[in-house]
Amino acid sequence: MTETKIVATPGSQDVALTRIFDAPRELVYRVYTDPELLPDWWGPDQYTTTVDRMDVRDGGSWRFIQRGADGTEHAFHGVYHTADGERIVQTFEYEGAPGHVMLETTVFADIGGGRTKVTNTSVFQSPAERDATLATGMTDGAVRS
């Protein structure tokens, strides 16, 4: 796996994260969509992730809960708009800040040699909202190895 590349162009309302995995696309997609595997990698290391619901299909919903060692909880939820083996399009909302919904598109590209390029683009409601979310440490969980 390569280092995560993060692009947040000043004044834009999106953040793009790209990473290359030394694994075939089907396996990487499965790790993103299997409720048994997702808690092993989703979010910052200092939290434990529990999948409350994960119905990966067009129109299905998801909800994950992260718990810190001190008992703090953070929950996130959304709706899948597309989940077709090559990309996932979903909404993402942190329950601690209701109404601040972003649209995420994750593309799984086979780049040959059993490797997969994953590009996740999160589109926020405004550049200010994107910047405020980045300031909270949003990318900490994304760069987890």
Confidence of residue 3 (pLDDT cuts 50, 70, 90): confident
pLDDT greater than 80 at residue 68 = yes
**Average pLDDT value over all residues in the chain:** 92
**What does pTM read for this prediction?**
0.89
Confidence of residue 132 (pLDDT cuts 50, 70, 90): confident
- List of domains in the chain: 5-136 (3.30.530.20)
Confidence of residue 44 (pLDDT cuts 50, 70, 90): confident
If DSSP states are collapsed to H, E and C, what string results for the chain? CCCCEEECCCCCCEEEEEEEECCCHHHHHHHHHCCCCHHHCCCCCCEEEEEEEECCCCCCEEEEEEEECCCCEEEEEEEEEEECCCEEEEEEEECCCCCCEEEEEEEEEEEECCEEEEEEEEECCCHHHHHHHHHCCHHHCCCCC
Residue 78: predicted pLDDT: 98
